[in-house]
Amino acid sequence: MKKTVLITASLAALAAAMPAHAEEAGESESDIVVTAQKREQLLIDVPQSVSVVSGDALENVQAISFSDYLKLVPGLQLNQTTPGFGRLVIRGVNTGGVASTVAVYQDEMSFGSSSGLVNGAILAGDFDTFDIERIEVLRGPQGTIYGASSMGGVLKYVTKKPDTGALEVRARGSVEATKGGDESFLGSAVVNIPLGDTLAFRASGFYRDYGGYIDSIGTAGSDVEKNINDSKSYGGRASLLFRPSETFSVQLSAYSQNLKTNASNNVDSDPATGRTLYGGLTQSQFVPEGTDVQYRVYSAVVEADLGFANLVSATSYSTLRQVFRADLTTQFGGLIEAVFGTPNDFFNQQTTRVRRLTQEVRLQSPESDSFEWLVGGYYTRERGLIDQEFNAVQPGTLTPVAGLPLLGVAQLSSRYREIAGFANATLHLGERFDLTFGGRYSDNKQSALQVSDGVLAGGPNTLPVARSSENVFTFSVAPSFEISDQATVYARVAKGFRPGGPNVLAPGAPVELGSYSSDSLISYEVGVKAETADRTFGIDIAAFHIDWKDIQVFGIVNNFGINFNGGKAESNGLEFTANLRPTNGLVFSLNGAYTDATLKDDTPAQVGGLAGDRLPYTPKYSIGANADYEWDLGGETQAHVGASLRSLSKQPAGFDFAFRSANGRQRYLPSYEVVDLRAGLDFGRYSLEVYAKNLFDSEGKTSFEVPGNIPLGAAGTAVIRPRTIGATLTAGF
């Protein structure tokens, strides 16, 4: 397959081009196949809003992590301070709580925490994208098939399977230079080995060493050090596929990834406007803030054709472990010195851990012109832990201050268990009209125990075990009508939910706050997917309205974090993706989203949101534009050039009652635009690419925190990487 075809197909995918049906298109290479409804379907046949970005497209734009491919997916936003420490937002479904609204999947395996007790919302699985088949982003609630915590949508990584047909070896290496920062070095490699006609093995690995670009300049006595926010990401995947016949297969897979950083991407900023202070990208560091995030995913997938139905059994065990050091010198250092007479730096060392076992079994009917169905059962068991230790150290070191009593330790352990049954079906009412519908019933039980000790915790304290349980039903109904072979119109009504759970209460807190309920939403969506007969132009456009009730929000009671149920919120919007291929090798794509997400009721006073406030970290407008051109230079040599633009309007930060009362509005992050350029030569077995990310050095902000632990009353705002110039060499056969 020549690279021209690969790029054309992949950019059609990222632009969500609408292909014709396989039987009419001769199963064209541009047909986009997805597994959004847990069966392989052409994208045009899926009656909901889905974006697809192929692995080839990701490599073409040098996209490795969340922050790299946002420009390819309309309506997908990221609130992030550090690699591996981020929150995904789709369609504005976000109130700043600690339980996730976007589910992250790797193939058949859900990843992360289902509960609100282990910071699942801000620890979304940021998997490396090397050697994946595609990314699928499903917008709107997916509770029918994907279950809890998918009320905003699903981000799904579909990995490449081992191939019994051919040996493959490929490697990529990159070097980057960042304005005002250190150099970065990136490498990756994959090998696919057929072990006979029925067995194949595939393994890949990657190593990313990113140079820092933020300095600590001594503000208020902090350290003086350059480029403190360097980071590393490394890991790999191994998979063994056994397929003794066309009707049976077993695939065993293991995935490992570590993300290590030496400081966050926060810079000291004005607490009212979010604008950067001190004339550059600086962070007041007294104690180095390190983060180490580890992902481990092990899975076994069995598929069998039983004749009347296909059986799929997916078993997985995954772990997420995060260890981070938070510099709290400004907040607590003076207090410790005043009480104990000892100058000090002060930090919190926290370990967060999720261990998750899942099992899903489902039966799905063969393809049919009249009726297709899917039924399944799901089980998950999760164990969570948050372990905190507060430490005073000698200034400028990590050496503990001698002679102090135990300052503070706290441990929150939690359990989550869910059992669910689900069904989905499509009724074909004639050649043009389909009705897809489904439902899911789930039962969950949770428990939590908190133990604390130390001067700052008020001495030893073991709180009573907190427990909760819920039963929830979700549904979806989606009629679709095929106007022609190249155009489909659809509607969708779907319910999504997020589990409630127990709260661990501080002494003296109201008893009625001992638990919080699930929140749920109903989404109404209409959309059109269409393309011209010659596939030179395609468009996917969807409008939606979301009614959200019992919203989960997060606040503080007696210095303890508590989950609350608020009132109602709503989100209205429109998303589109269009692509144009006027001639061979030339592709233009444009995507955009308008999202108006607001509170309809005041939140509890401890949270700080008022009716009419916009929901956090969702710009009202976002635009992404991409252009790529490829041409032959003779022989096997081809050249390509491309450019991308992402533009975001200003976006609201988290709720803050004091700021809202004083200013009549919540805080906002400024709008920004980012331009990327790329070019390359492909010599067949080798290729060379050069690129520029953030060409005009935009200072885009992705978070806004006012925690009270930054000197001189400053806020922390995370910034995107400054202008970065890089080159990549790829070799393979």
- The predicted pLDDT at position 579 comes to 93
**CA angle centred on 454, ends 449 and 459, rounded to 5°:** 75
- List, for the chain, all residue ranges whose pLDDT scores fall below the cut of 50: 1-29
Q: What single letter denotes the amino acid at residue 217?
A: I
Closest to 383 (Cα-Cα) out of 350, 420, 416, 352 = 416
**CA angle centred on 56, ends 50 and 61, rounded to 5°:** 90
Q: Tokens for 110, please give them.
A: 């859900």
How many Å separate Cα 263 from the centre of its chain?
21
- The predicted pLDDT at position 6 comes to 27
pLDDT tens digits, one per residue of 671-687: 999 999 999 999 999 99
First to last CA, the chain: 13
Measure Cα distances from 612 to 262, 323, 588 in Å: 39, 37, 38
- The predicted pLDDT at position 5 comes to 27
* Residue indicated by tokens 């490396």: 128
How many Å separate Cα 118 from the centre of its chain?
16
Pairwise CA distance, residues 85 & 79, whole Å: 9
| Cβ proximity of 364 and 377 under 8 Å | no
pLDDT above 90 as % of the chain: 80
- The predicted pLDDT at position 254 comes to 98
| Cβ proximity of 9 and 30 under 8 Å | yes
DSSP state string for 260-307? EESS-SEEEE-TTT-PBPTTSSB---SS---EEEEEEEEEEEEEEE-S
Which SS3 state, helix, strand or coil, does residue 3 take?
A: helix
- The predicted pLDDT at position 350 comes to 95
Q: Which domains does the chain have, with CATH numbers?
A: 3-732 (2.40.170.20)
Pairwise CA distance, residues 92 & 673, whole Å: 20
In Å, the largest CA–CA distance within the chain is 82
Residues 6+ apart with CB under 8 A from 24: 485
How many Å separate Cα 146 from the centre of its chain?
15
pTM of the model: 0.93
Pairwise CA distance, residues 728 & 468, whole Å: 52
Is the torsion defined by CA of 663, 667, 668, 670 positive or negative?
A: positive
Pairwise CA distance, residues 187 & 723, whole Å: 20
| Cβ proximity of 635 and 589 under 8 Å | no
Pairwise CA distance, residues 129 & 221, whole Å: 41
Q: Output phi, psi for 43, to 5 deg.
A: -55, -35
Is the torsion defined by CA of 655, 661, 664, 668 positive or negative?
A: negative
| Cβ proximity of 433 and 480 under 8 Å | yes
Q: How many CB atoms lie within 10 A of CB 353?
A: 18
